Structure 1
């Protein structure tokens, strides 16, 4: 179905920037960038998928069945997203909170043009109908003049709930924990702006520059835009191997190296933060065990400190071997939504979350990624992300954290502000 051509690159960093700039020519765009982050699980430095040949777009009803049919029918590369509200397809749940964004619950497309960067090489995989454009496109990209991207207007970001309301809601969540309804739950709040006009690609460039995360995404499908600086992998399948890398536990960075090292050490030894992580690891292990070969679920890393530009994080890695005969989409269905964005027990936590949060999560705390023709896949967790509907000019980002019996509401609020810092910075030009 595809013609593949590879070229050597003289300057990979520059080519990536020009490639992203070139993507403005297309209506459907998915850009995935690892930002040269070293990972034994990574496949590519960056991938650009543009120009839909086919697509599937749906609400949550039977969404995973529709995705399974689409993935198996195309038997090709497909790129897209799963919103958090697909929980309503997996379980008997609902989403009735305010939704200013109006994204479809699931959206995937089969790109006509696929460009993958690995080391100092770039591979063009084009569908037969456009494979005569490879040389011309490569030449056009190289001849582009790099443009400076800058947000012209300051965006006035508002909070959906006040600090007082947030603290009260955390107290209610902790009451549920003390009663034994749940052990932990991820509670989030929305920041938003109305009637704003932005150039999403400009915002992405700015956010990625100050965050450089390993699972960055720029996505444009019709009027729906995602600008993501995610540090977290949800689930990856390579052959019969499954990898999940939940994040729980956050601490600030310091410009002073000694102070920064002390903050990282304190995070590694923080009982509250490590207990958050361990509970979610247990949940992920349980999810994967439902589709894994017996005895294959392993915790490869537990509560390891990873340092990103904005924050230190506790990251764990859970691996498994998928049982023979289980379709790729089923691995996502069984484990969705990801434990790091829900809580434990998962269904009880999701019910309580829905009552306490004021906004429908939509793509926030969902996932973006791709399937290969062989049925392998890789998906991130949509956090540290800005969502924008270009049609109704509504912009939104949400932040949150895990509430446990050890939580202190004031500190949870401070953690939210820490996670929101980079996004506010690029929007408010501060």
Structure 2
């Protein structure tokens, strides 16, 4: 095995396209993690690449002892392996409930270099970047909403009736959008999305013919040493057209009783989840109602930390906290049953999680939102958006909030940007 080495990244604007195209050609599975550099508490993803041909499920990850870090993706529907639940809604793209990539290649991108970690062979700059190419433009596609406006309004009122009846306090309700075009290139789609909506937990993931184009602003769970960090997002408002409007909108979000109530309910749920696998009395809310700017929106983010129980394994931690409260609601199990009742699609990777597990047991996983799932073989793609429905939710406002969250994806699919 070759020692670690590095090659310089060329100054040309198309270097990332060439790099992703080379990975796509050479490997059946790979993951490209990117952090836009947002001022995010505890930082975002490291700029890393993993590629290989072997995968295992979450149940096998405990027995894996490797020299390299691993990449894992956990579908929302993995919930059925944790609780007595089901997912019988329409399957838009068939995806594994969990998949962990055992990499043959690991690369860190830093200071203008590709740093190869114990590669099997020397890979030259010419091999990756030497081909003459230009970044193509994706075709515009027709996007189809699976839920009509009228159905959405009706579902919100039905969900509010469950709240009035005391079944739940808050529920995350999502709607999906689909498109179909075999000429659509997921690599170009990812680069387009990074340009219009850079995020701290962005990932481009390939599993055979299936691709995840993820521009997530949200961390699910991070472990560093014995410390666990969860950072739920609940609360969204658009960015202003100038500095003054931007500050005004930020303050509106910060002082919104409705958004604070949504955020607080999920913080309480996550505190309860973390307490299952943490030292007694160690669960703390480090920041409540923090408001952070992103390209198109301000988001309300809270930070909850805990000290993990000695001996708690990755699977134990995931089973205690998954699915993340920000994508379910409270109480979690009843909300999951109602999500199955009212939504009309199987979420799959959407609102699941993808991240990296280090060889020392540390890990960092996001929430898969603001993301496209694409099947290159069939040309089918989908994305979904949602919001938290509470007792005083206004259905029209919630619908508009969903379209705001979808605006970056819609722009790269339906307009020349």
- TM-score, reference length from structure 1: 0.91
Identify the residue that residue 146 of structure 2 maps to in structure 1: 160
Distance of aligned partners of 1:195 and 1:19 in 2 relative to their CA distance in 1, 3 Å threshold = closer
What does residue range 200-239 of structure 1 map to in structure 2 within 5 Å? Answer: 200-239=186-225
Identify the residue that residue 147 of structure 1 maps to in structure 2: 134
Distance of aligned partners of 1:321 and 1:186 in 2 relative to their CA distance in 1, 3 Å threshold = same
| DSSP 3-state at the match of 1:126 | coil
Q: CA deviation at 1:320?
A: 1.1
Q: 2: distance between equivalents of 1:139 and 1:272?
A: 55
User: How big is each residue's C-alpha offset from its partner over 1:176-196, in whole Å with a ceiling of 9 and x where there is no partner?
Assistant: 011110000100001002354
Whether 1:96 and 2:88 are equivalent positions in the alignment is yes
Q: 1: distance between equivalents of 2:190 and 2:14?
A: 16
- TM-score, reference length from structure 2: 0.93
Contact preservation (8 Å) 2:44, 2:200: no
| DSSP 3-state at the match of 1:101 | coil
Q: 1: distance between equivalents of 2:115 and 2:132?
A: 22
Contact preservation (8 Å) 1:75, 1:374: no
In structure 1, the gaps of 5 or more residues are 58-63
User: How big is each residue's C-alpha offset from its partner over 1:343-399, in whole Å with a ceiling of 9 and x where there is no partner?
Assistant: 000001110111000000010000011111111111110000011112232110000
Distance of aligned partners of 1:392 and 1:302 in 2 relative to their CA distance in 1, 3 Å threshold = same
Identify the residue that residue 118 of structure 2 maps to in structure 1: 126
Which residue, out of 68, 73, 77, partners 2:62?
68
Contact preservation (8 Å) 1:103, 1:362: yes
Q: CA deviation at 1:12?
A: 11
Q: CA deviation at 1:145?
A: 5.6
Q: 1: distance between equivalents of 2:55 and 2:374?
A: 20
What does residue range 12-31 of structure 1 map to in structure 2 within 5 Å? Answer: 18-25=18-25, 26-31=27-32
Which residue, out of 84, 100, 105, partners 2:76?
84
Q: CA deviation at 1:50?
A: 1.4
Identify the residue that residue 298 of structure 1 maps to in structure 2: 284
Contact preservation (8 Å) 2:74, 2:352: yes
Identify the residue that residue 61 of structure 1 maps to in structure 2: none
Identify the residue that residue 171 of structure 1 maps to in structure 2: 157
| DSSP 3-state at the match of 2:117 | strand
Distance of aligned partners of 1:37 and 1:171 in 2 relative to their CA distance in 1, 3 Å threshold = same
Distance of aligned partners of 1:216 and 1:44 in 2 relative to their CA distance in 1, 3 Å threshold = closer
Whether 1:399 and 2:391 are equivalent positions in the alignment is no
| DSSP 3-state at the match of 1:220 | strand
Which residue, out of 396, 400, 411, partners 1:414?
400
Q: 2: distance between equivalents of 1:4 and 1:66?
A: 28
Q: Aligned residue pairs: how many?
A: 415
Q: 2: distance between equivalents of 1:256 and 1:43?
A: 26
Aligned-pair Cα RMSD in Å:
2.2
Contact preservation (8 Å) 2:175, 2:385: yes
Q: 1: distance between equivalents of 2:3 and 2:44?
A: 20
| DSSP 3-state at the match of 2:278 | coil
Whether 1:192 and 2:195 are equivalent positions in the alignment is no
Q: 2: distance between equivalents of 1:294 and 1:73?
A: 30
280-289 or 43-52, larger mean C-alpha shift? 43-52
